[in-house]
Amino acid sequence: MKLLVLDAGHCLNLALARLVHRRSDTELVIEPGLKIDAARLRELTPAAVVIPPLSAPMEIEPAAVIAHGEGVDACLAACRETDTPLVWCVSDQLYQDGFETPIDEHVIPSPRDESLRRLIAIGDRIRQSHPRHLIVRLGPLFALEGGHAWLSGVIDSLVTGEEVRAAQDVIFCPTSADAVAMALVGMLHQLDCGSDAWGAYHLAGTEPVSAYTFTSMVRTQLSTRLEGLGEQVGLGEVKALKHHHDQPLRRVLNCRRVLEAFGVHQKPWRLEVGRLLDEWCQARRASPGDEKGGSAS
């Protein structure tokens, strides 16, 4: 199975590349941006086009959100012309105001922000005009390398003694890029073998947590591991921020449908963080000249 993945350098794409390197049944072609046309799709004949998520669309310039949407629109046109399946991964931040209860797949986001509403309109066009699609809504991604990796930035800031600021009253389910890559490849192989389970799915780590608690846990585990390496590193502190003074904003994705349709289980984010910190420490131990430097990314 050949997959065409757009936006080279994204942490999800690097995770896909690592996974595919260990498999003999999947081939990956990675293009640098979101620009793809029908001629290129006819040349490559991929089983699907995969677009990684725009990370934290609420926290970046509206122009960047709009540009991402225009790229997705162009991909949709090319996929429709060539009847190529389209996989679009999106951030849970499209649920701008959150929900008190876990959010089911059938709940379409209705953000107040104009640029986010443009992304919702694109999702509507995909659902209405291109039956062979996956819209995969993800919790915040974390990884050790690549664009939008989050965890690598937290580690870099902590080991250089910088203060890391994180919201205490926004609750979500962090999601490792490696877990998403494994799930996507498994889902696409089933679809390539004849499954007709196209549509919208949620995929996130287990156990809702605040950004502050997640970051604090990373700091604690990082400190323990560095002590185990015999290093005395003055890690930066984690500062709690509050944006919602009445009650926490919750973006907890209900991932039941992806389990029922594809047998994909959620990965515990705590175990994934622990595994990645072990990898980071192994890389640090292997590079003694970098003892005062940043992360393995």
Q: Identify the pLDDT of residue 245.
A: 66
230: left (phi over 0), alpha (psi -120 to 50) or beta: left
**Averaged pLDDT, 284-295:** 60
pTM confidence score? 0.93
pLDDT at 291 over 60: no
Q: Identify the pLDDT of residue 292.
A: 44
Q: Identify the pLDDT of residue 289.
A: 55
Q: Identify the pLDDT of residue 239.
A: 96
pLDDT, tens digit (0-9, with 9 covering 90-100), for 37-86: 999 999 999 999 999 999 899 999 999 999 999 999 999 999 999 999 99
pLDDT at 287 over 80: no
Q: What percent of the chain has pLDDT over 70?
A: 96
Residues 6+ away with beta carbon under 8 Å from 11: 52, 141, 143, 145, 146, 147, 148, 149, 177
d(C-alpha 252, C-alpha 259), whole Å: 16
* Residue 74, Cβ density class (10 Å: 0-12 exposed, 13-18 middle, ≥19 buried): middle
Q: Identify the pLDDT of residue 295.
A: 44
SS3 content of the chain, % helix, strand, coil (to 5): 45, 20, 35
Question: 15-19, 181-185, 246-250: which range is least confident on average?
Answer: 246-250
Q: What is the mean pLDDT of the chain?
A: 93
Q: Identify the pLDDT of residue 193.
A: 95
d(C-alpha 271, C-alpha 276), whole Å: 9
Question: How would DSSP label each residue in 6-64?
Answer: -STTBHHHHHHHHHHHT-SS-EEEE-SSS---HHHHHHH--SEEEE---S-GGGS-HHH
Task: Tally helices (H) and strands (E) across the chain.
Answer: 9, 13
Question: How would DSSP label each residue in 135-202?
Answer: EEEEPPEE-SSSBT-SHHHHHHHHHTT--EEEESSEEE--EEHHHHHHHHHHHHHHHHTT----EEEE
Q: Identify the pLDDT of residue 288.
A: 62
d(C-alpha 203, C-alpha 206), whole Å: 10
Instruction: Give the pLDDT band of residue 252 (cuts 50, 70, 90).
Output: very high
Q: Identify the pLDDT of residue 61.
A: 93
pLDDT at 286 over 50: yes
**Helix or strand or coil: residue 286?**
helix
